[in-house]
Amino acid sequence: MNMSKAKQTSESIELGVLLAISGGMMDAYSYMARGKVFANAQTGNMLLFGVYLSQGEFAKAMHYFCPILAFTIGIAMADLVRMKGNKRLHWRQLSVLLEAIILFAVGFIPMNMNLLANSLTSLACGIQVESFRKIHGRGIATTMCIGNLRSATQNMCDYVKERDVHSLHNGILYFGIIAFFIFGAIMGNIAIGYLGGHAIFVSAVLLAIAFSIMFIDREKEEIEELKERIEEKL
């Protein structure tokens, strides 16, 4: 299978790489700069929410519950955008644009308002995880790695057992997205050292680039579809 071109712009490797880097940066930002709360890893937030509840520290527990709630709302928002649709933009383009705007706003939130900042960051993550589920037709997440790690390992085991080249390609793709997520976390932590609370702007810029890529590629796809229709009529 040719992995250089996806069936849909929203499933392209280039877009997946940008989203994975942005996903890693968001988690690094919320954890390292905003009070050790996860933007993407809601399992970790649920764990700490339960721990602080058991200790009777309800104020601290809310710092983990609110991002979980915001993440859930983000998923719902992405679905609403999909159902409503738009004639000028693909619904996933709208999702990316909305995500970029939210993260840009987060960069202006004071450092003593981490609960709001983390909740909005998790909201953006929820939008992303719901809007982008596949790369080249394969179920791949760009905001978390546990599912990708399982799929990567499974495909590599299939390759060792059956020598199926497609399984090898799949495994490389999954491990590649994981690597770019880690790279995003590294870049996020470096950006925090230079920019502090404004470091999230870098993630917003990456999403703006992703939006542009989707717009350009969509025009190319429409031109190709038009050419195919003309050729069929001739």
**Residue 202 domain-assigned?**
yes
What six digits make up the tokens of 79? 């679905």
Looking up residue 53, the CATH number of its domain turns out to be 1.20.1250
The whole-number pLDDT of residue 91 equals 83
What integer best gives the mean pLDDT of the chain? Answer: 87
CB 126 within 8 A of CB 74: yes
Q: What percent of the chain has pLDDT above 70?
A: 85
**Residue 27 domain-assigned?**
yes
What six digits make up the tokens of 220? 């190319």
The whole-number pLDDT of residue 7 equals 46
Of 121 and 220, the structure prediction assigns the larger pLDDT to 121
**Residue 3 domain-assigned?**
no
**Residue 1 domain-assigned?**
no
Domain that holds residue 198: 10-233
Q: Is residue 118 predicted with pLDDT exceeding 90?
A: yes
The whole-number pLDDT of residue 144 equals 85
Q: Is residue 158 predicted with pLDDT exceeding 70?
A: yes
Tally of domains within the chain: 1
Q: How confident is the model at residue 12 (pLDDT cuts 50, 70, 90)?
A: confident
**Residue 195 domain-assigned?**
yes
**Residue 47 domain-assigned?**
yes
∠ CA(31), CA(33), CA(34), 5° rounding? 70
The whole-number pLDDT of residue 228 equals 58
**Residue 81 domain-assigned?**
yes
CB 81 within 8 A of CB 98: yes
Give the span between the Cα atoms of 85 and 216, in whole angstroms: 19
**Residue 104 domain-assigned?**
yes
Q: How confident is the model at residue 230 (pLDDT cuts 50, 70, 90)?
A: low
pLDDT tens digits for range 162-216: 888 989 999 999 999 999 999 999 999 999 999 999 999 999 999 999 988 887 6
CB 27 within 8 A of CB 34: no
> How many helices (H) and strands (E) are present in the chain, helices listed first?
8, 2
pLDDT tens digits for range 40-94: 889 999 999 999 999 999 999 999 999 999 999 999 999 998 888 766 778 888 9
The whole-number pLDDT of residue 225 equals 55
